[in-house]
């Protein structure tokens, strides 16, 4: 009786459909594995500057890969920017002129066609040294930003002027240092009614010919330091503004603060240090 029962149960079990029997996938490999690493352009989506001199004629973000100390000869400046919307990050490196060629700039910002503005250039984070003209020279620069730069031992530091009727407008110079530029100013904004709306903020100008020279009206200088310049620490034309929190009235007369301090010439009423 027991055996017949066991056989009946076994037969019943064998007649049931097998549970959880699933079709298997193809054993053929799908193909070579896709790359998982990022490309160099994805890791560093900027354009390296590996040799100088160079001309930048296309907008984009550029960066120095090393310091450059070499003899730049006419007519080639170290870096020439001919396009709008160019950013150059020095990445802490230095561009140094080792020769004595005249009229060579460290960086020249110049419109491709005279009489037009070149817009939105950005220069930051480095040193320019030894050039027989200004470290940075711009014609018709508009809405440019120069920050965290040190210009030293050039004829002058930074020079912004008009390009024909296109003025130097809306540019910002922030946290820059100018030292031992014996032939010119730390920053010079040339005269002209179109050179307006520029801001010089938290900059230092030490041991140059002139500290800060603002020849045009309608600009702002704020929180800057000038010391030891052989001419005036500040030469600020009529009609500019300065201050820390609020803007006082525009100055009614020329301001000249000599390297001897406020005791010589008209004292600087703005929020700057002059001693």
Joined tokens for residue 100:
């004595």
Q: Enumerate residues 6+ apart whose C-beta is below 8 A from 26.
A: none
163 inside domain? yes
**Of the candidate ranges 6-10, 45-49, 207-211, the one whose mean pLDDT is the lowest:** 6-10
For the cut 90, the answer to whether the pLDDT of residue 69 exceeds it is: yes
Residues 20-26 have a mean pLDDT of 59
63 inside domain? no
pTM for the model stands at 0.77
* Cβ contact 136:146 at 8 Å: yes
Model pLDDT for residues 98-149, shown as the tens digit of each residue: 998 888 999 999 987 787 889 999 999 999 999 999 999 999 899 999 999 9
Query: Could you tell me the pLDDT band of residue 265, with boundaries at 50, 70 and 90?
Result: very low
273 inside domain? no
Residues 31-54 have a mean pLDDT of 78
For the chain, what is the domain count? 1
- Please give the residue that has the higher pLDDT: either 74 or 136: 136
Structural domain range at position 85: 68-268
Task: Give the pLDDT score at 246.
Answer: 43
Q: What is the C-alpha to C-alpha distance for residues 170 and 197, in angstroms, rounded to an integer? A: 5
59 inside domain? no
The per-residue pLDDT of the chain, averaged, comes to: 83
20 inside domain? no
- Please give the residue that has the higher pLDDT: either 137 or 18: 137
Joined tokens for residue 39:
């490309």
149 inside domain? yes
33 inside domain? no
Q: What is the C-alpha to C-alpha distance for residues 22 and 43, in angstroms, rounded to an integer? A: 45
What's the order of all strands across the beta sheet hosting 185-189?
Answer: 54-56, 79-81, 107-109, 134-139, 156-161, 185-189, 210-214, 232-236, 255-258
For the cut 70, the answer to whether the pLDDT of residue 53 exceeds it is: yes
30 inside domain? no
Positive or negative torsion for Cα 161, 130, 121, 57: positive
């Amino acid at each position: 009786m027991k055996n017949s029962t066991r056989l009946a149960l076994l037969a019943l079990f064998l007649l049931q459909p097998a549970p959880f029997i699933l079709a298997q996938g193809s054993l053929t490999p799908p193909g070579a594995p896709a790359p998982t690493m990022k490309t160099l352009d994805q890791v560093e989506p900027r354009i390296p500057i590996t040799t100088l001199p160079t001309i930048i004629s296309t907008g984009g973000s550029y960066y120095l890969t090393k310091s450059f100390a070499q003899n730049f000869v006419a007519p080639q400046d170290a870096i020439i920017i001919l396009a709008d919307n160019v950013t150059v990050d020095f990445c802490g490196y230095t561009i140094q002129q080792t020769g004595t060629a005249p009229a060579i700039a460290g960086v020249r910002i110049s419109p491709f066609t005279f009489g037009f503005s070149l817009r939105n250039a950005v220069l930051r984070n480095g040193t320019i040294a030894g050039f027989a003209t200004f470290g940075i020279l711009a014609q018709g620069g508009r809405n440019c930003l120069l920050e965290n730069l040190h210009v030293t031992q050039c004829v002058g530091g930074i020079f912004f002027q008009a390009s024909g009727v296109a003025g130097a407008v809306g540019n910002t110079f922030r946290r820059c240092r100018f030292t031992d530029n014996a032939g010119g100013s730390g920053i010079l904004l040339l005269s002209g009614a179109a050179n307006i709306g520029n801001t010089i903020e938290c900059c230092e100008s030490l041991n140059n010919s002139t500290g800060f020279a603002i020849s045009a009206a309608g600009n702002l200088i704020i929180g800057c330091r000038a010391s030891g310049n052989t001419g005036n620490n500040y030469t600020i034309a009529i009609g500019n503004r300065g201050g820390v929190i609020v803007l006082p009235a525009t100055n009614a007369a020329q301001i000249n603060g000599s390297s001897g301090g406020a005791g010589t010439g008209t004292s600087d009423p703005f929020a700057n240090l002059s001693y």
